[in-house]
Amino acid sequence: MAEAKYPKTMAQLNQLIADISQLQTNVQQTHWYMRGSEFFRLHPQMDDYNEELDEHLDEIAERLIALGGSPYSTTHEFIEHTGLPDEKVTWNQHTLPEYMQRLDDQFKYLANQYQIGMEASDEEKDFPTQDMLNGFKETIDKYIWMISAYLGKGPLE
């Protein structure tokens, strides 16, 4: 079997698969358990986040396969490899601002993972992957800006 041409990039793509899969679960928790005066505005936003994350996930997995890799594809693999929390959430456990802070933190984590992927793909000269991740990071940076604004702070705070 031939040695992988882009080992660091491929490893980071799988990391992103695990992280995005977990983030989708965490966004869904917010969707189900949020309450408060902003409910009607923010509840559909969670669907929008998950739709965008699903597109990222699919493109990353397909890119990994195109590079000769094997994407993680089980919940056990996602949980084993993600850097995001897999925590049980119950009704009235968090306020809406607490849920949004949780998402702000997790989107910031994801943005950092995209940056790591961009740097690995740059080092290995896999520019198509770098371009893909750059676009995805731009979207996540926008989400961070918007969630941070909701929380009354700047995106870098």
- Domain boundary assignment for the chain: 7-71+92-150
Looking at the predicted structure, is the pLDDT value of residue 45 above 70?
Answer: yes
How far apart (Å, rounded) are the C-alpha atoms in residues 120 and 130? 8
What's the pLDDT score for residue 2?
A: 55
Average pLDDT, the chain: 95
pLDDT of residue 65: 97
The Cα 1–Cα 49 span in angstroms is 39
| Confidence band, pLDDT 50/70/90 cuts, at residue 99 | very high
- Specify the long-range contacts of residues 26-30, CB closer than 8 Å, at least 24 apart: 26/84, 26/85, 26/102, 26/103, 26/106, 27/53, 27/103, 29/89, 29/99, 30/99, 30/100, 30/102, 30/103
pTM for this predicted structure:
0.95
- Please, which pLDDT band fits residue 157 given cuts at 50, 70 and 90? confident
Q: What is the DSSP letter of 156?
A: T
The string of pLDDT tens digits covering residues 109-155 is 999 999 999 999 999 999 999 999 999 999 999 999 999 999 999 87
Report domain 7-71+92-150's class: mainly alpha
Q: In the predicted model, is pLDDT for residue 9 greater than 90? A: yes
